[in-house]
Amino acid sequence: MDNQGFQVVKDLVQPDGRGRISLGMPASGKSYRVLINDEGQILLDPVVPVPERELWLWNNPDAISSVRKGMQQVVQGEVHDQGSFAQYADLEVED
Amino acid sequence: MQFRLRLSTEAKEVIERLAKHDPKKHKKILKTLGLMEVNLRHPSLKTHKFSSLEGPNGEEVFEAYVENKAPAAFRVFWFYGPNPEEITVVAITPHP
């Protein structure tokens, strides 16, 4: 079997009668997406749970794309000091 | 505490586009950035942590409101740093 970069952490585990396996400390406190392939290999892919009130961003391709682009630019040092915005704090605007 | 804002190119370009095409929203964004600079806890910003995002070095990312109930209300995504008393604005994007 090709381990594709994975290391064996347990030589043999057997699920209990309800299909449960204890993964031990490396998996403690995390959440996973579970995938299975045609060979019966199961992959646990760590995921960060998204609170309901934040789903709008992840469900909006334009918005998440803008955030990802901005984050990438920050990583690459594409940031700009536009001077102070303090003078606009008291602007009268209609909501 | 007063902060200095740093804007990603993406955020900067959104501001520039709105200045040309939607002066009313542009004014609202300027006011929001002004408030972030001088009073990050101002109630109208409704600043809160956005837990499903993190900065390039694991920074906590926050969301601030530009508007509340307006159609396509804009939100500002930002994090503290990289230097003390600095805020990096990652993106300014409309909420559907």
Q: What is the ipTM of this complex?
A: 0.94
pLDDT tens, position by position, A46-74: 888 899 999 999 999 999 999 999 999 99
Nearest CA in chain B to A81: B6
Per-residue pLDDT averaged across B39-67, rounded? 94
Q: Which residues of A touch B67 (CB under 8 A)?
A: 95
For B4-16, the pLDDT digits (tens) are 999 999 999 999 9
Interface test with A, best of B1, B2, B3, B9 (most A CBs within 10 A): B9
Distance from CA of A79 to the nearest CA of B (A): 4
For chain A, strand residue ranges (E) read 31-36, 42-47, 79-80
Say if residue A95's pLDDT is above 70.
no
Average pLDDT score over chain A: 89
Contact state of B51 with A51 under an 8 Å Cβ cutoff: yes
Two tokens, residue A53: 């009130």
pTM of the complete model: 0.81
Which helix (H) or strand (E) segment holds residue A56: the answer is helix A55-58
pLDDT at B69: 75
What local confidence, expressed as pLDDT, does residue B91 receive? 98
Q: Give the pLDDT band of residue B43 (cuts 50, 70, 90).
A: very high
- Whether residue B57 is predicted with pLDDT greater than 80 in this model: the reply is yes
Contact A80 B28 (CB under 8 A): no
Indicate the average pLDDT of chain B: 94
Q: What is the pLDDT of residue B71?
A: 74
Query: A50 near A56, Cβ under 8 Å?
Result: no
N- to C-terminal Cα separation, chain B: 32
CB B27 within 8 A of CB B73: no
Exposed/middle/buried for residue B26 (C-beta within 10 Å: 0-12, 13-18, 19+): middle
Instruction: Please check the confidence at residue A4 and state whether its pLDDT lies above 80.
Output: no
Q: What is the pLDDT of residue A2?
A: 62
B66 touches chain A (CB under 8 A): no
> Is residue B65 within 8 angstroms of chain A, CB to CB?
no
From chain A, which residues contact B within 8 Å (Cβ)?
48-51, 54, 56-58, 60, 62-63, 66-67, 69-71, 73-75, 78-82, 84-91, 93-95
Terminal C-alpha separation, chain A? 61
Nearest CA in chain A to B74: A63
pLDDT score recorded for residue A29: 81
